[in-house]
Structure 1
Amino acid sequence: MFFPLLLQRLRILHLEPSETDHWQMCGALGLDPSSTVIERVDTLDRFKQRLTDGLHDIVVSAYHCDGFTAMDAWEVLLGMPGRQPAFIVLSRSASEAEAIDAVRRGACDFVRKSTLSQLARVMLRALDASRIRTAKEDSQAELAGSVERSTELNEYLRKCIEEERQAIAREVHDDIGGSLAALKSDLGWICKQAKEPDVLAHANAATEMLEHAIGASQRIVQDLYPPVLERGIVAAVDWLAGSFEQRTGVKTAFTSTHEVIHAPEDVQLVAYRTAQAALTTIARHAACSEVRIDLSDGENMLTLEITDNGRRLTRAELPERPRALRGLGARARTVDGRLAIRNRGGAGTSIILSVPLVPVEGSLRTARLQQT
């Protein structure tokens, strides 16, 4: 017969207090009760031990056992590590309500002992369902692992980029900035010593160009890794607001709940980059006349909100927006935070960053901190 030949390649664990019922089930399946394919246990402790000792493809359990039910065995099975075998309830006296409850709680199927001829077909169907479920779980686990690895890689790349930006900022500030300052001093001496009008004119023109170069190098340093962050996130965002207003002419108001907000260095950097990217996008696309920046640390949460009164920006537009706003959500998640973009009535957009000041238990950030 087809079914017994297939079943002989499986390992079946039969939880059954009655040896007679066990023999009847083996007969219905065309199996020898002494075969290694099928094994009977009659206590919950023995059931748990056999689950621990070996791998089984199918568990068939009587509903009413001595001192427990099939649902108690099901709970034991759920608590076991590793792959779960298909679980079928086989009963003579269980009620319809008990049968429905067994399937609702996760059993693959319910078979009456009076219809043992159907058991082989039910077992094969349960095996197929179990294989599909296992494949789905494996696929989901693989996908979750891939996402986690991708997140870790992105975070590592961001960290490398920030370190590189910091190194370049130091290089520009110390070497190029120092050279430009020395050159400015020499040009100042030339201007004082120059007698010829043409020489003085060229020296003054060179000095103006040099002032422009010094200003550009300072802006580059601030964009790459601002030294103002060493004074804390409040001072850094305040500087951003003032610089934005001076550069664009857009009225910019900054408020903070405290003069100093204590936050981890990675959180401060994410907040600064978020404010920097938001202001860059506002300057290029919002067409606004006012910007408000609010920074707070209530309820152990750092919250940064940048609001303009210009053209509304919807989340659907983000893929079309410049790279300044792309990736802010992913950057926020590296410190357990989240980013929200909200419209303010008929005009204006708010970009809101919320980051817990205490790392979330079990998060990637917590794991990273524990490793360091």
Structure 2
Amino acid sequence: MRLMKRAGLAVQALRVDSERAYLDALGRGGDDGPWDLVLSSCRLPGLTGLAALERLKALGHMIPFVLVSDASDEPMAVEAMRQGASDYLLKDNLTRLVPAVLKAMERHVQARDKQQTELALLKSRQQLRELAQHLQNNLEQERAAIAREIHDDVGGALTALKFDLAWIARHTTSADVFERTQTAADTLTQAFDATRRLIHNLHPAILEEGLVPALQWITGTFEKRTGIRASFHSSHAQPELARSVLLTVFRTAQEALTNVSKHAQASQVTLDLTLTAGMLSLEVSDNGRGMSQAELNKTQSFGLRGLRERADTIGGWLDISSAPAGTTLILALPLKHKDKANADPSASTLREVRSKDDPTFWGDL
């Protein structure tokens, strides 16, 4: 104490010489107590310096621990350093005491600040994940609500209009009026097709049948629309999935196929869905031109970035690898029990009699 006071340090010290008194002192004043430093001899009555360090670590304290050793106890001091002591000194040469104490306390402050910063960063990241998940859920719910309104309101109005045109065509004797009704009917058919596409893009009703049927359907329609050979394989017929997982896998497959049709110049694409060891993985591979590292890392790649963020919000990850022989996208998600609370209870209103080619819309009228 005299050496530290001579160096200009204002020291308030408590001397203890038993394990009970040591533990009582450590328990005062919160996580790290009122203490900035533990200065310990190698041997105390019933307690070694190494045991004192172990007790300190067991309590979860980050207080710097400096060991003062006899020459004969140097191996113990070295072991204490290996287990996390800040420093050790020999009793017959305490000239290093003040510099060692100051350095230990400085490192402690730095480590504490770093830990607090990391904890704040982890908390912030968790909050961002929760916000992203909340926004994704709201987005999907809003899409479903808009799809229902289009189906009920626009679809109903178009259907009524089609019946009216058919009535006029049956009852008119004018060739000009009949021709106009046929032209209007063709325009109406185009409006039906546009409405089908809108509903499909907003909220495909095939999702209500499960992930495997949805991926089978999206693969089949992709091949019909683009002419690119597409195949889908699944290790399970109908896995029970939380709605967040189902939507993430479907939207990932949708975005991946869109990228293949736009950029890959591929003639074949394969989707593989695998469930094993509590993980669900989707692999989308094509035989196209591949992507350069610059293309994979470009700042404007918001589609892929959005998929990564969506996967991250539910604890998963997405990886893309590319070569001249093609590109492979892998999505991996941890599985939980099916989240019925996240299901959209009103989405069943979209389950109308479906046409052969488009299960997201009402049947032919």
| Structure 2 residue identity aligned to 1:56 | W
C-alpha deviations, 1:326-346, integer Å up to 9, x for none? 221221122322222233x64
In structure 2, the partner of 1:17 is none
SS in 1 for 2:284: strand
2:309 is aligned, of 330, 336, 345, to 330
| Residue 219 of structure 2 is aligned to residue 241 of structure 1 | yes
| Structure 1 residue identity aligned to 2:237 | E
Q: Percent identity?
A: 36
C-alpha separation in 2, matches of 1:145 and 1:41 = 39
| Residue 169 of structure 2 is aligned to residue 169 of structure 1 | no
Contact kept in structure 2, 1:315 and 1:341, CA below 8 Å: no
Contact kept in structure 2, 1:341 and 1:352, CA below 8 Å: yes
C-alpha separation in 2, matches of 1:27 and 1:325 = 64
C-alpha separation in 2, matches of 1:316 and 1:148 = 29
In structure 1, the partner of 2:362 is none
SS in 2 for 1:311: coil
Q: CA deviation at 1:324?
A: 3.0
SS in 1 for 2:303: coil
Q: CA deviation at 1:45?
A: 2.4
Contact kept in structure 2, 1:281 and 1:322, CA below 8 Å: no
Say which is worse superposed, 141-150 or 226-235, in terms of deviation: 141-150
| Residue 54 of structure 2 is aligned to residue 75 of structure 1 | yes
1:333–1:103 CA distance, 2 compared to 1 (3 A): same
1:121–1:39 CA distance, 2 compared to 1 (3 A): same
State the number of aligned residues: 333
1:268 is aligned, of 246, 249, 272, to 246
Say which is worse superposed, 72-81 or 317-326, in terms of deviation: 317-326
| Structure 1 residue identity aligned to 2:46 | G
In structure 2, the partner of 1:23 is none
C-alpha separation in 1, matches of 2:164 and 2:302 = 41
When the two chains are superposed, the root-mean-square deviation of aligned CA atoms in Å is 2.5
SS in 1 for 2:232: strand
Q: CA deviation at 1:129?
A: 1.5
C-alpha separation in 2, matches of 1:97 and 1:183 = 94
1:48 is aligned, of 11, 23, 32, to 23
| Structure 2 residue identity aligned to 1:200 | F
Q: CA deviation at 1:125?
A: 1.9
C-alpha separation in 2, matches of 1:58 and 1:337 = 42
Contact kept in structure 1, 2:42 and 2:73, CA below 8 Å: no
1:161–1:141 CA distance, 2 compared to 1 (3 A): same
C-alpha separation in 1, matches of 2:236 and 2:5 = 79
Say which is worse superposed, 305-314 or 193-202, in terms of deviation: 193-202
Q: CA deviation at 1:94?
A: 4.5
Q: CA deviation at 1:95?
A: 4.0
C-alpha separation in 2, matches of 1:326 and 1:315 = 15
C-alpha deviations, 1:56-107, integer Å up to 9, x for none? 11110111222332121112111224x5222111122444433333223221
C-alpha deviations, 1:167-219, integer Å up to 9, x for none? 11111112112222222222222222333333222222221121111111112
Contact kept in structure 2, 1:71 and 1:102, CA below 8 Å: yes
1:164–1:315 CA distance, 2 compared to 1 (3 A): farther
In structure 1, the partner of 2:287 is 309
C-alpha separation in 2, matches of 1:299 and 1:74 = 40
Structure 2 runs not aligned, ≥5 long? 343-365
SS in 1 for 2:266: coil
Contact kept in structure 2, 1:314 and 1:341, CA below 8 Å: no
C-alpha separation in 2, matches of 1:57 and 1:219 = 67
TM-score, with length taken from structure 2: 0.83
- How does 1:271-350 map onto structure 2 within 5 Å? 271-314=249-292, 316-320=294-298, 322-343=301-322, 346-350=324-328
Which aligned segments of 4 or more residues in structure 1 are displaced greater than 4 angstroms? none
| Structure 2 residue identity aligned to 1:79 | A
Contact kept in structure 2, 1:274 and 1:328, CA below 8 Å: yes
Structure 1 runs not aligned, ≥5 long? 1-25, 360-364
Q: CA deviation at 1:314?
A: 5.0
C-alpha separation in 2, matches of 1:169 and 1:136 = 49
1:193–1:259 CA distance, 2 compared to 1 (3 A): farther
C-alpha separation in 1, matches of 2:103 and 2:321 = 50
C-alpha deviations, 1:28-74, integer Å up to 9, x for none? 3348xxx9811111122221111112321111011122233212111
TM-score, with length taken from structure 1: 0.82
C-alpha separation in 1, matches of 2:68 and 2:97 = 9
| Structure 2 residue identity aligned to 1:349 | T
SS in 2 for 1:336: coil
C-alpha separation in 2, matches of 1:201 and 1:210 = 14
SS in 2 for 1:340: strand
| Structure 1 residue identity aligned to 2:302 | R
